[in-house]
Amino acid sequence: MESTRDRLINLLAENKDSFISGQVLSDSLNISRNAVWKHMKELEKDGYQIEAKPRKGYRIKKYPEKLSSNTIKWGLDSKWIAKKVIHLETVESTQTIAHQAARENSPHGTIVVADEQTMGRGRMNRSWHSSKEKGIWLSILLRPEIPPNHASQLTLVTATVLAEVLSKIENVEPLIKWPNDILLNRKKTAGILTEMQSEQDQIQYILIGIGLNVNHSIHDLNEDIQSKATSLRIETEKEWSVKDIIQKLLIAFETAYDAYMEDGFAPTKKKWENYGFKIGENIAIKTFNDKWQGKFLGISDEGALLTESKDGTPVKLYSAEIDW
């Protein structure tokens, strides 16, 4: 059940641009006007800036930076994404919570965000280091009406969204390493883990898990990944608002998802290839049981890796790791 405090924040958020009187708040929440005032003082302690005017009432002027379902929703002008936000301080993995939410019928567009993950998951059963309040640890629940074998295209849609959002930052030039690692200066700053639940030919839901290193200093990265990983802060020498980047990502994702549903994969393929790392160059290819060098020719109309087999003939790979 929603706490009085959350209901109070919701009432203030719904009246974002105008004042709401102490009497209306007290009536709606069934608490005294003095209790309303005390709640306001508590909100201020948490970093909310509240404007109080005699005979007019209260209004939130500024939300705190700290993540919460309210701060993420505040000012987020979305059509369907993040209408439901599950924010938790510490979780094993946001994917686990999102699977649970999906099974409990949470709607398309629900997001799960955590300040910290203790058992963050990466692709290929790797772990994903997710230190407290340093980055974006986010899962998006989708219920798309597409065939299950198109699900990986949504991963590539997400990678282009991440690249586009990051490329708006001055001096940041992201590249996408196939299929979906986001590199800054050849080091990984973000990864995407897509998980799907489907039955026969029908997708029940897809979870897009996004991990983005934002405010890590080099020491915040595990020693074993320091040579291969980076963060936005390391690359720009600046701290970033995790909340602002989440909001930008969500809005860009919503637009890209709607466009993909409307126009199919072709526009994404083009955008992806604009950011594609090593397209036209030689790469090291590793599949389940083989390793070789070949030219990276681009991605196919379905999003597979187009490269050369050992004898130089073109080949399409749906699952592989690339390196340089």
Question: In one letter, which amino acid is 56?
Answer: K
Using CB under 6 A as the binding rule, whether residue 117 contacts ligand BTN is answered as yes
List CB contacts of 174: < 8 A, sequence separation 6 or more. Answer: 162, 163, 166, 167, 182, 183, 184, 189, 275
What are the φ/ψ torsions at residue 55 (nearest 5 degrees)?
65, -5
In the shown chain, the binding pattern of residues 189 to 228 toward ligand BTN, with x for contact by CB under 6 A and - for none, equals --xxx---------------xxx-----------------
Please report whether residue 133 would count as binding ligand BTN according to CB under 6 A.
no
Q: Does 126 bind ligand BTN (CB under 6 A)?
A: yes
| Residue 122 annotated as part of some ligand binding site | yes
Q: Which stretch binds ligand BTN (CB under 6 A): 52-60, 120-128, 250-258, 284-292?
A: 120-128
Q: Choose the binding region for ligand BTN from 5-13, 15-23, 44-52, 122-130 (rule: CB under 6 A).
A: 122-130
Residue 38 makes CB contacts below 8 A (sequence gap 6+) with: none
Rounded Cα distance between 149 and 146, Å, is 8
Selected from 115, 164, 181, 254, the binder of ligand BTN by CB under 6 A is 181
Nearest alpha carbon to residue 285 among 205, 178, 210: 178
Decide: is 123 part of the binding site for ligand BTN (CB under 6 A): yes
> In Å, how far are 99, 109, 194, 214, 254 from 142, measured between CA atoms?
11, 6, 11, 25, 11
Q: Per the omega criterion (within 30 degrees of 0), is the bond before 179 cis?
A: yes
Q: Is 94 a residue that touches ligand BTN (CB under 6 A)?
A: yes
Locate tokens 């681009």: which residue? 298
Report the C-alpha gap between 251 and 172 in whole angstroms: 20
Query: In the structure encoding, which two tokens stand for residue 307, read together?
Result: 């490269």
- Is 174 a residue that touches ligand BTN (CB under 6 A)? no
Decide: is 109 part of the binding site for ligand BTN (CB under 6 A).
no
- Total interface residues for ligand BTN by CB under 6 A: 21
93 contacts ligand BTN (rule: CB under 6 A): yes
Select from 19, 84, 122, 315 the one that contacts ligand BTN (CB under 6 A): 122
Nearer to ligand BTN, 209 or 276 (CB): 209
How many Cβ atoms sit within 10 Å of the Cβ of residue 73? 20
Smallest distance, Å, CB 129 to ligand BTN? 9
Q: Which residue is nearest to ligand BTN (CB)?
A: 191
Pick the closest to residue 112 from 208, 196, 189 (CA basis).
208
Alpha-carbon distance 106 to 89, whole Å? Answer: 20
Kindly state whether residue 121 participates in binding ligand BTN, applying the rule CB under 6 A: yes
Tokens of 100: 């649970």
Q: Which stretch binds ligand BTN (CB under 6 A): 9-17, 78-86, 115-123, 230-238?
A: 115-123
126 carries a ligand binding annotation: no
- Binding-site ranges for ligand BTN (CB under 6 A): 93-95, 117, 120-123, 126, 128, 130, 137-139, 181, 191-193, 209-211
